[in-house]
Amino acid sequence: MNYRASIPDCKAVTGTNGTEGIKWYKPIGNSVPGMVVCEACHEDDVLCNPFAPKFQREQGQGPTDIWACDLALRYINNELKFKGRAGDWDGFTRQASARLAIPACPGQGTAAATSRKWFTPTIGSYAANGILICHGCYCDHVLHSGEEAKWQDVGASVGSRFGSTLRCTMGQFNVNVALGMAQEAGDLSIFWKSLEGASREKFCDAKGIKDGKWFTLPSSPDGFAVCGACCATVLEPLDLMKFVLPNRAKLRGGTILCSINPAAPRFLIYAKHLVEAHLRQDISSLEKLTVELTNIPACRRDEDFTNGVWYGWPDCAICPECHHTFTRGTALERSMPLKGVRIADSNLCQMYSPRMRALYMAACAKNPPDPSELLVYADHRSTVYVQTVMRIRQMLMESQLMLGQQSMLNTSSSFYLSMGQIQEISMPSACTYGMAGVGYGFANQNSLQGAIYGQQAMAVGQQAANPSRTLLVGELERQWRAVE
């Protein structure tokens, strides 16, 4: 038990890179190609399983390679338990390989209808409301649950019935909370009740909701509002609805982003305090925080900006929100040279990052507290930011300019081609026109000019969509995420 406490918990689908020093394991003989298990799950689920001798260390992770633990997939974890009891190693390797071949859940995003199987409930009016789950979530959360009869494969008609682009209901944060609470309680009726409530409300969109149903805390703090769908799927299962009131000020108005949507600036802060409120059945901590944050600007995370107010050190700047919610009152606060200082130059908050927060806590724990290692890493992190994120922004800006140029050239091409067609009908020419590299046989100069613009538009579009640019952006982003 002492050893287990020293192992970092599984990061599930988020994954970790090689610099974090996670130990990895894999099935022997590459019997499940590509499968890896983190040390935490190896300790928790493999060592107590009859198949423990069939796993070996995997040491091929590079410093910037991001690996995700496959045993975090509920279906593979269940199969390990069931097949382990039966002593069916071949059965486990077949099922695990099949699960890994299924595309990952699109999560908060969307996926093409033809990219995977989709399932819809056989009960109630959920199908009519567009409730669908992807093949991966069906395996992980429906199979082995006793609820298989309540779901059916939509089949080849999924595109014609629901559209070409689909969203997995179980991939949404709020529905996932309800599902997790139901699984923890061993009562899936909690999930179905939440799903029924959410299906009557507007979808909690990352772009915001217009004219939705809103709820707030008793003190009605500015900037905090929870939509009806999240009340049904988050607050109800957490037994927190008794602490909130309808927000009548927001019943009508513009587009509003739900405060506990993952796209909301303070989502992580509020989510943490919602867990505390659920465990303590006391909302006062969350309400106090929302009131305090009313006049504090939200952290910009990995977006640098000018003329900001900063705490911390010149090489490790901390925004007001991260200072208020994390560094305030800690052992290093007194030694900070920056305490609410406005700086005109561009700067980046360092303390929103979990890695930087871990380094900060380690610096506070030293005797005496010493930020030197933190500052060295922050300086390195800032250097990588300039070399990667700044370059990515420049390339994206260049691509946007090229796409704008392509649009203008396409418009010009259409204009001149139309003029050429009119001229050909009204004033036909005895000659034809052409140009090397464009072609010959055009009826008039306008048609030729339209072809020239069209060719230029195609060339610009190919340059903007150059695969090498896409690969470079991906590599630069990977380098930044490795230190972020």
The whole-number mean pLDDT for each consecutive block of 10 residues of the chain, a chain of 484 residues, reads 91 85 94 96 96 95 89 96 96 97 93 94 80 95 93 91 93 95 94 93 92 90 92 96 84 81 93 95 94 91 92 95 94 94 93 91 94 94 91 85 88 90 87 88 89 88 79 84 80
Q: Which of 278, 275, 259, 171 is nearest to 214 (CA)?
A: 259
The 10 Å Cβ neighbour count of residue 409 is 20
The pLDDT score that the predictor gives to residue 64 is 77
Which stretches does DSSP call E strand in 76-227? 111-112, 118-121, 133-134, 151-153, 165-166, 209-210, 214-216, 226-227
The DSSP letter of residue 172 is: S
For residue 472, give both structure tokens.
């470079």
Q: DSSP letters of 214-233?
A: EEE-TT--TT--EEHHHIII
Q: Write out 401-430 in H/E/C secondary structure.
A: HHHHHHHHHHHHHHHHHHHHHHHHHHCCCC
CA distance 420 to 427: 10
The pLDDT score that the predictor gives to residue 323 is 96
**CA-to-CA separations, 73 to 29, 80, 142, 233, 308, in angstroms, rounded:** 21, 11, 13, 22, 42
**Please, are residues 69 and 38 in contact by the beta-carbon 8 Å criterion?**
yes
The pLDDT score that the predictor gives to residue 359 is 93
Q: Which of 52, 40, 39 is nearest to 81 (CA)?
A: 52
Q: Which of 216, 151, 146 is nearest to 182 (CA)?
A: 146
Contacts of 3-9 spanning 24+ positions with Cβ under 8 A: 3/43, 4/40, 4/43, 4/44, 7/39, 7/40, 7/43, 8/39, 8/40, 9/40
**CA-to-CA separations, 145 to 82, 140, 148, in angstroms, rounded:** 13, 9, 7
The pLDDT score that the predictor gives to residue 66 is 87
Q: Which of 13, 29, 18, 107 is nearest to 69 (CA)?
A: 13
CA atoms within 13 A on the CB side of 443: 15
**Please, are residues 125 and 119 in contact by the beta-carbon 8 Å criterion?**
no
